Amino acid sequence: MVQPNFCSADNETIVENNGLLKVKGNRIVNQYGNPISLAGNSLFWSNDGWGGERYYSSRVVSWLKIDWNTSIIRAAMGVEDPGGYLSNRATNQERVKIIVESAIDLGIYVIIDWHSHHAEDYTDEAIIFFQEMATTYGHSKNVIYEIYNEPLDVSWSETVKPYALKVISAVRSIDPDNLIIVGSPEWSQRVDLVAEDPITSFENIAYSLHFYTVHHQKWLRDRASIALKKGIALFVTEWGSIGYQTVDAETDLWMSWCANNMISHCNWAVNDKTEEWSILVPAASTSGHWTDDELTKSGQLAKNIIKNWNK
């Protein structure tokens, strides 16, 4: 049996093996042009005092890589809500940097997520933030920018897309090549609207698709399949199982769909808050080394999927 994630001087990391990710047609591909599907975790909102920020540590990222075989981690930087970037830039940005630098050290991919529901209201702030990130990390093959977590019930063509074009243009003036992921209306579910009017003036743009199995089933997979057929590339930057149980038939259907379409995914969320999607039980260690007893049922389910994902 192959030891997942066994790492020695002879074993290259997933980023060394696959290099900079690119969009090719409706697929994310590695440096050789081969489709790649990654599996990993999203951290919870980074906001001061919300609880999830306690897990923004290198030891957590390291443990997820070693014990879960996580190949991608998402830093979900809260923006406009209390305790977020707009009220405390230094603390939130520092948390993101800890995660990015840990991922680079460990050789896994990392998503820098502008975790906002109203990003079009703070376009200037997003540009400043992402230009700083691009300046600091744009040379790194590990880094992916996610410039709008979940737009609400707003227009794709009139609101989200114009915002995205401004931020992408600002990033591309510094970093010409790293992957950029864009959300879509209705909590990043309206990939059908994106497919009708995709961003064509920049390369290496993918679109997020979020699913929570309690809410989103075959109808969303069918919508996403049509969007793929129309030629856009998708990236599941958040997903959640039905929660509180280690078996979820709908999760199995979704994971088969991701595997068949070579789509990467990050499980929501590394946190100990009492809610169905947290992977950790309350007061679980903030430095990893979790026993199975410290994982929730949905955490155990997610671990089983991520650890055995080998696409």
Positions marked active-site: 150, 238
- Shortest approach of Mg ion to residue 261 CB, angstroms? 26
Nearer to Mg ion, 13 or 178 (CB): 178
**Site for Mg ion, residues 74 to 133, rule: CB under 5 A:** none
Number of residues binding to Mg ion, judged by CB under 5 A: 4
**Helices 249-260, 297-307: crossing angle, 10 deg rounding:** 20
> Which of helix, strand or coil describes residue 27?
strand
Nearer to Mg ion, 103 or 269 (CB): 103
Nearer to Mg ion, 181 or 194 (CB): 181
Q: Token pair of 31, please?
A: 């440096």
Segment interacting with Mg ion (CB under 5 A) among 37-45, 78-86, 177-185, 201-209 = 177-185
- Shortest approach of Mg ion to residue 105 CB, angstroms? 18
67 burial (CB, 10 Å; 0-12 / 13-18 / 19+) is middle
Residue 62 contacts Mg ion per CB under 5 A:
no
271 burial (CB, 10 Å; 0-12 / 13-18 / 19+) is buried
Nearer to Mg ion, 137 or 187 (CB): 137
Q: Are 227 and 191 in contact (CB under 8 A)?
A: yes
**Site for Mg ion, residues 263 to 282, rule: CB under 5 A:** none
Question: Of 37, 178, 188, 296, which one interacts with Mg ion (CB under 5 A)?
Answer: 178
Nearer to Mg ion, 174 or 199 (CB): 174
- Shortest approach of Mg ion to residue 29 CB, angstroms? 16
Is the Cα dihedral 133, 134, 135, 138 positive or negative?
positive
Question: Of 150, 175, 238, 250, which one interacts with Mg ion (CB under 5 A)?
Answer: 175
Phi-psi category of residue 34: left, alpha or beta, with phi > 0 → left and psi -120 to 50 → alpha: beta
- Shortest approach of Mg ion to residue 100 CB, angstroms? 13
- Shortest approach of Mg ion to residue 87 CB, angstroms? 30
In sequence order, the 6+-apart residues with CB closer than 8 A to the CB of 215 are none
- Among residues 118, 126, 210, 140, which one has the least CA distance to residue 168? 126
Question: Of 81, 177, 203, 275, which one interacts with Mg ion (CB under 5 A)?
Answer: 177
Is the Cα dihedral 8, 10, 11, 15 positive or negative?
positive
**Site for Mg ion, residues 127 to 166, rule: CB under 5 A:** 138
Using CB under 5 A as the criterion, which residues of the chain lie in contact with Mg ion when the complex forms?
Answer: 138, 175, 177-178
